[in-house]
Amino acid sequence: MDTNTSDRLVCIATVTKQAADVFGSHAAAEHWLATPAIGLDQRRPVDLLQSAEGTDLVTALLTRIDHCVYT
């Protein structure tokens, strides 16, 4: 496995763990990651994890949700 692939896998695992912490379970995290999100202009979070910029958007939204900041 090349470095880029392993970095992406680590990133996806990290975001999935953050989502599980925010939503309370791995199943809820997987559901959220696969569902279009209003805070991401109706894009699915999982689709954004293909780039560093998209990953930053997803983690920022998870942080806002965790702190009840929706605007």
**Tens-level pLDDT at each residue, the chain (71 residues):** 788 888 889 999 999 999 999 999 999 999 999 999 999 999 999 999 999 999 999 999 999 999 999 76
Quick check: is 32 in a domain?
yes
Quick check: is 17 in a domain?
yes
Q: Tell which residue, 42, 40, 66, 67, has the closest CA to residue 54.
A: 40
**Residue-level pLDDT at 71:** 63
Quick check: is 48 in a domain?
yes
Q: What global pTM score does this model have?
A: 0.91
Query: What single-letter DSSP state applies at residue 1?
Result: -
- Other beta carbons within 10 angstroms of residue 32's beta carbon come to 21
Domain count, the chain: 1
Q: How big is the CA angle at 57 (ends 31 and 71), to the nearest 5 degrees?
A: 90
Boundaries of domain holding 12: 3-66
Quick check: is 71 in a domain?
no
**Residue-level pLDDT at 31:** 98
Quick check: is 52 in a domain?
yes
**Residue-level pLDDT at 65:** 97
Contact call for residues 23 and 29 (beta carbons, < 8 A) = yes
Quick check: is 10 in a domain?
yes
**Residue-level pLDDT at 17:** 98
